[in-house]
Amino acid sequence: MIFFLAREQNNMFNLRINGIFLIACSTLLCAISLATTVDYDANAIIINGERRLIMSGAIHYPRSTPQMWPDLLKKAKDGGLDAIETYVFWDLHEPVRRQYDFSEDLDFIKFLKNVQEAGLYAVLRIGPYVCAEWNYGGFPMWLHNLPGIQLRTDNAVFKEEMKIFTTKIVTMCKEAGLFAPQGGPIILAQIENEYGDVISSYGEAGNAYINWCAQMAVSQNVGIPWIMCKQSNAPSPIINTCNGYYCDDFKPNNPKSPKMFTENWIGWFQKWGEKRPHRTAEDSAFSVARFFQNGGVLQNYYMYHGGTNFGRTAGGPYIMTAYDYDAPLDEYGNLNQPKWGHLKKLHAAIKLGEKVLTINATITEKQYGDSVYLKTYANQATGEKFCFLSNAHNSKDAQVDLQQDGKYYVPAWSVSILQDCNKEVFNTAKVEAQTNVYVKKLATELGNTFTWTWTSEPVEDTLQGVGTFNASELLEQKAVTVGASDYLWYMTTVLINDTSTWKNSSLQVNTTGHVLHAYVNGQYIGTQWGTHDKLSFIYEKPISLKQGANIISLLSGTVGHAHYGAFFDMATTGIVGGPVKLIASSNTTTLDLSKSSWSYKVGLNGEAKKFYDPKFSSNGVQWNQVNNVGTGKPMTWYKTSFKTPEGTDPVVLDLIGLTKGEAWINGKSIGRYWPTMVADNNSCSDKCDYRGNYGADKCLSGCGEPSQRFYHVPRSFLNNDTNTNSNTLILFEEMGGNPINVCVKTITIGSICATVGYGKTLEIKCPDGKTFSQIAFASYGNPQGKCGSFQVGVWESSDSASVIENACIGKQSCSVNVTSSTFKINNQGGNDGQLAVQLLCDGSDPEIGRVQKVKNHEKLSLNESGPESEL
Ligand code: GAL
């Protein structure tokens, strides 16, 4: 046993700790961590006295799985990050008031420990309002119904709940020794989230609330600084920070605070029906470099790994299940190249200047014409210098002559980082990192088609109008369901005496969304839904009424609850208030049913009986073989089983042929699906100009395609057994699709490309477990085109392919200096050529290392589904 005593002088944000904390000690293994002091000034975050610039990236623990965390964190560390930022998701941890869940996938303490084990710091954004495209902004929905509550304002009921949860999280972190002064990884903590965006809507109460938030946070005594993002009136000592695509002009409200960019939106999220946004590696790097050029201290990518909105966690309305975000690590955890590699090089380049950038350096700025300027940071005492030379013009490239410090070509919308102010170590527009092309490969070992069974959603009760309680009004959906289900049945009975007027009439339902299915007298009448930009809609369908009692059963479905904006928590869902009307065919007589007696039932019977869970789905349920019957019917559950695909590549379900619903693997929900939500055909382009301000509608792909056709199945959701059909897939199919084409695919590396200029070094790498197996293209000269369609230019070195073959084939990684001593230059070109390569990686080929005899420049056909859409 080892004992240490910790003596601490906790002076809020100027914390000094002497000694070491004992963290854990067992008989065999003693783990100790050094206490870490966290301090700051305007130029640096000061960790254990060391003046630091911090590169950080967001990875939200519930958007991946504990099995994925170590790999994601390793890739973040390899990518040059110092810290990981995560929110804490209140709704997951306190689904029922005072009943907490921090188990398994929700073990955020374990996530933070993993962060530390990976050698990273943590930024803990407790919120507990988080926005994050998360259901109800991360608030548990039971908050909504607490008597007297008003959310995110100076309201005693809300503040009490917020304080209890914040204190719980802080206490758990303290107990686990996770704050830096305790030897843990957490160096910063956040309270609230972007309240500045909405504060004016809350009047004076908004200001009072934000002051209370600050006091409440500070009283938690965490020994590290607290931040608030987008909060220009953040009360001292809380540091206000910037979120956006660019934050170079941001100034914290206290000149002593460090300039922090807590959300650099590295791409954007998608809603159902939207195209896929991309933010280029060049523009992402430009934004980061400009931030540090202008005095930035901490920069956090939102997101570094976006991941997946499993279950019903997606916010909204209409936020999609995939939350890829075009982040440096893609939804499945693969490197999104060249973004990941380009930013890695950028981090390394900026860190070369860390010493001089973090002192109170002498800063000079020199203009070189239109939008071009040089910023010099100099340490007068040592003579050390570091420069950023930027060109913020969105079309004009610049040639800058720095005299004895060299001449530089600075492309439009780029920043050159000059070590010692005389050597370009990085330019944000010159991308040398490799491009990875991933392919979705059919897991053929599983067989081509699955055997499906089906059962109908039991609707006998609700089609008879039988619910669990009644009200003489049309209620707001979330207030009734409290998030327990996406679905709420609204049912009423209408007595018709006069069939001559009402026999042929229509049913009109005004709903605030998001989806409506209607039945009259047990007959399915039809379905309608809103869109991400128009949630409310009027449903109107012809119906036939009979003499006497007619039963109207309406099933309203939600697709994620609002997560953003002033009073977002009050946004209505469902048929609240209606009106619901019958309109006689004559069109002159209407019957308003809005104040009739409505019967309600929360959720589906199949949900209550756990049809989605193989442990329960067989209990008394008749599953029928799918043949000609059984498909194309709304409200149907489908079931199949399949083997686990071999290997370690990420697994996806291709849900083409289905409409809308939810999918479960072995009882775990992989999220809502909606492949019939197709993006429109306008404004996608093959080319994306990185120059000029980025916006989420700038570089789009996926026109005319389902917003999401493929759904991530984390490997940990599958059984280890690859020999038998040990996995059960269950679908709730809402609008009558056909599962026959549903299949399992794996995401594997297709090929790797890179383009490198003369004098530089080609550095390429296959993912772990794979090696270079084949050259699809290699040309040193003036190659044309882009990855997947490279072509030889007017000249090339004849040994291009053999040089690459010798250096790379059979290896996981290789590097080749692009010089005239490496490549024979046939006199046509000078030393200004470029090397372009495309290689295949293959770990499954038993003859790895054998060079397959492909003719150079011959175009290889990639696996069936072809490369991922690329810009
Ligand atoms: C910010 C918010 C994040 C996320 C982001 C957009 O406003 O703080 O949580 O919602 O926008 O992805």
Report CA(133)–ligand 1 centroid distance (Å): 7
Structure confidence at residue 827 (pLDDT): 54
333, 399: one domain: no
Q: Whose CA is nearest to atom 11 of ligand 1?
A: 132
Q: Which two tokens stand for residue 80?
A: 């040059």
Rounded CA separation 573/558 (Å): 7
Residues 6+ apart with CB under 8 A from 17: 6, 7, 8, 9, 35, 36, 37, 181
194 lines ligand 1 (CB under 6 A): yes
Cα distances from 23 to residues 7, 286, 804, in angstroms, run 15, 41, 50
Rounded CA separation 160/98 (Å): 13
Report CA(120)–ligand 1 centroid distance (Å): 23
Segment 821-835 shows an average pLDDT of 74
Report CA(385)–ligand 1 centroid distance (Å): 36
Report CA(340)–ligand 1 centroid distance (Å): 21
588, 653: one domain: no
Q: Write down the catalytic residue from 85, 161, 192, 194.
A: 194
Question: Does 867 have pLDDT greater than 60?
Answer: no
**What's the structural domain count of the chain?**
5
324 lines ligand 1 (CB under 6 A): no
Among 190-204, 275-289, 575-589, 848-862, the minimum mean pLDDT is found in 848-862
Report CA(554)–ligand 1 centroid distance (Å): 34
Question: Does 849 have pLDDT greater than 70?
Answer: no
In a domain, 44, yes or no: no
Q: Which of 601, 618, 649 is the last residue of a domain?
A: 601
649, 713: one domain: yes
Give the residue, out of 263, 265, 274, 303, with the most ligand 1 atoms within 8 A of its beta carbon, to mutate for a pocket test.
263
Give the residue, out of 59, 133, 191, with the most ligand 1 atoms within 8 A of its beta carbon, to mutate for a pocket test.
133
CA 40 to chain centre: 30
**CB neighbourhood size of 27 (10 A):** 6
Q: What is the mean pLDDT of the chain?
A: 91
CATH of the domain at 576: 2.60.120.260
Q: What distance separates the 2 farthest-apart alpha carbons in the chain?
A: 98
Report CA(253)–ligand 1 centroid distance (Å): 21
**CB neighbourhood size of 77 (10 A):** 15
Nearest to 502 by CA among 474, 528, 522, 521: 521
Residue 826 banded pLDDT, cuts 50, 70, 90: low
612, 691: one domain: yes
Structure confidence at residue 320 (pLDDT): 98
Cα first-last separation, the chain: 58
Give the residue, out of 139, 230, 231, 243, with the most ligand 1 atoms within 8 A of its beta carbon, to mutate for a pocket test.
243
Segment 395-402 shows an average pLDDT of 97
Q: Which two tokens stand for residue 705?
A: 């395609």
In a domain, 3, yes or no: no
Contact 770, 778 (CB under 8 A): no
Question: Which secondary structure element, helix H or strand E, spans residue 662, and what is its range?
Answer: strand 661-665
Nearest to 509 by CA among 492, 495, 523, 485: 492
231 lines ligand 1 (CB under 6 A): no
Cα distances from 358 to residues 102, 188, 239, 382, 859, in angstroms, run 39, 18, 18, 14, 50
CA dihedral 301, 307, 308, 313 (to 10 degrees): -40
In a domain, 6, yes or no: no
Which phi and psi (to 5°) does residue 717 adopt? -80, -15
In a domain, 45, yes or no: no
326 lines ligand 1 (CB under 6 A): no
Question: Does 26 have pLDDT greater than 50?
Answer: no
Segment 424-449 shows an average pLDDT of 91
Q: Which of 351, 384, 412 is the last residue of a domain?
A: 351
In a domain, 443, yes or no: no
In a domain, 16, yes or no: no
**CB neighbourhood size of 247 (10 A):** 23
127, 180: one domain: yes
Sign of CA dihedral 662, 663, 667, 671: negative
Report CA(653)–ligand 1 centroid distance (Å): 28
- For the purposes of burial, counting CB atoms within 10 Å of the CB of 329, is it exposed (0-12), middle (13-18) or buried (19 or more)? buried
Q: Which two tokens stand for residue 476?
A: 């707001």
Rounded CA separation 463/472 (Å): 19
Among 119-123, 567-571, 776-780, 849-853, the minimum mean pLDDT is found in 849-853
Structure confidence at residue 721 (pLDDT): 87
Question: Does 847 have pLDDT greater than 70?
Answer: no
Residue 722 banded pLDDT, cuts 50, 70, 90: confident
CATH of the domain at 697: 2.60.120
Task: State the SS3 of 550-592.
Answer: EEEEEEEECCCCECCCCCHHHCCCCCCCCCEEEEECCCCCEEE
131 lines ligand 1 (CB under 6 A): yes
193 lines ligand 1 (CB under 6 A): yes
Nearest to 766 by CA among 437, 439, 344: 437
Question: Which secondary structure element, helix H or strand E, spans residue 470, and what is its range?
Answer: strand 469-471
Q: Whose CA is nearest to atom 5 of ligand 1?
A: 132
Structure confidence at residue 64 (pLDDT): 98
Among 272-276, 302-306, 851-855, the minimum mean pLDDT is found in 851-855
Q: Which atom of ligand 1 is nearest to the CA of 131?
A: 9
Question: Does 25 have pLDDT greater than 70?
Answer: no
Q: Which atom of ligand 1 is nearest to the CA of 564?
A: 10
Rounded CA separation 745/20 (Å): 50
Rounded CA separation 663/708 (Å): 13
Q: Which of 707, 741, 775 is the last residue of a domain?
A: 741
Segment 778-782 shows an average pLDDT of 94
Segment 421-448 shows an average pLDDT of 92
Cα distances from 211 to residues 201, 206, 376, in angstroms, run 16, 9, 39
Give the residue, out of 86, 87, 88, 131, with the most ligand 1 atoms within 8 A of its beta carbon, to mutate for a pocket test.
131
Q: Write down the catalytic residue from 263, 282, 331, 662.
A: 263
To the question of pTM greater than 0.75 for the whole model, the response is: yes
269 lines ligand 1 (CB under 6 A): yes
358, 345: one domain: no
Which phi and psi (to 5°) does residue 78 adopt? -60, -30
707, 837: one domain: no
594, 657: one domain: no
In a domain, 622, yes or no: yes
416 lines ligand 1 (CB under 6 A): no
Rounded CA separation 106/839 (Å): 40
The residues that bridge with 624 in the sheet, in sequence order, are 454
Count how many residues are written for the chain.
Answer: 871
Q: Which atom of ligand 1 is nearest to the CA of 133?
A: 10
Residue 844 banded pLDDT, cuts 50, 70, 90: very low
Report CA(193)–ligand 1 centroid distance (Å): 9
Question: Does 16 have pLDDT greater than 50?
Answer: no
Segment 598-603 shows an average pLDDT of 98
Rounded CA separation 277/700 (Å): 5
579, 483: one domain: yes
DSSP secondary structure string for all residues of 691-754: -S---TTSSEE-TTSBS--EEEE-GGGS-S-SSS--EEEEEEEEE---GGG-EEEEEEEEEEEE
CATH of the domain at 247: 3.20.20.80
Question: Does 870 have pLDDT greater than 90?
Answer: no
Report CA(154)–ligand 1 centroid distance (Å): 23
Rounded CA separation 336/327 (Å): 7
- For the purposes of burial, counting CB atoms within 10 Å of the CB of 373, is it exposed (0-12), middle (13-18) or buried (19 or more)? middle
Residue 855 banded pLDDT, cuts 50, 70, 90: very low
100, 215: one domain: yes
Structure confidence at residue 405 (pLDDT): 97
Among 445-449, 664-668, 683-687, the minimum mean pLDDT is found in 445-449
Sign of CA dihedral 113, 57, 718, 140: positive
Give the residue, out of 85, 88, 89, 194, with the most ligand 1 atoms within 8 A of its beta carbon, to mutate for a pocket test.
194
Structure confidence at residue 619 (pLDDT): 79
CATH of the domain at 842: 2.60.120.740
780 lines ligand 1 (CB under 6 A): no
Mapped onto helix, strand or coil, the DSSP state of residue 174 is helix
Nearest to 36 by CA among 91, 82, 73: 82
The residues that bridge with 755 in the sheet, in sequence order, are 836
512 lines ligand 1 (CB under 6 A): no
- What range does the domain containing 645 cover? 451-456+608-741
Phi-psi region of 603 (alpha: psi -120 to 50; beta: other; left: phi over 0): left
Rounded CA separation 493/295 (Å): 68
Q: Whose CA is nearest to atom 9 of ligand 1?
A: 132
270, 135: one domain: yes
Contact 814, 823 (CB under 8 A): no
DSSP secondary structure string for all residues of 216-280: HHHTT--SS-EEEES-TTPPTTSEEEEEES--TT---SSTTS-EEEEEEE-S---BTTPPEE---
Structure confidence at residue 687 (pLDDT): 86
User: Tokens 């442990």 map to which residue?
Assistant: 615
Sign of CA dihedral 293, 294, 300, 303: negative
Told to judge if 705 belongs to the known catalytic residues of this protein, a careful annotator would answer: no
Question: Does 157 have pLDDT greater than 90?
Answer: yes
Q: Which atom of ligand 1 is nearest to the CA of 563?
A: 10
Reported for 368-377, long-range contacts at CB under 8 A and 24+ positions apart, including other chains, are 368/398, 368/400, 369/398, 370/396, 371/396, 372/398, 372/400, 372/410, 374/400, 374/402, 375/293, 375/294, 376/421, 377/353
Told to judge if 133 belongs to the known catalytic residues of this protein, a careful annotator would answer: no
Structure confidence at residue 627 (pLDDT): 81
DSSP secondary structure string for all residues of 101-125: ---GGG-HHHHHHHHHHTT-EEEEE
Contact 142, 96 (CB under 8 A): yes
Residues 6+ apart with CB under 8 A from 429: 282, 286, 411, 412, 413, 414, 690
The residues that bridge with 757 in the sheet, in sequence order, are 834
Contact 183, 177 (CB under 8 A): yes
133 lines ligand 1 (CB under 6 A): yes
In a domain, 572, yes or no: yes
C-alpha atoms less than 13 angstroms from C-alpha of 415 in its C-beta half-sphere: 23
155, 250: one domain: yes
Q: Which two tokens stand for residue 207?
A: 């200001």
Nearest to 515 by CA among 531, 529, 498, 494: 529
Residues 658-667: b if buried by 16+ CB within 10 A, e if exposed: bbbbbbbbbe
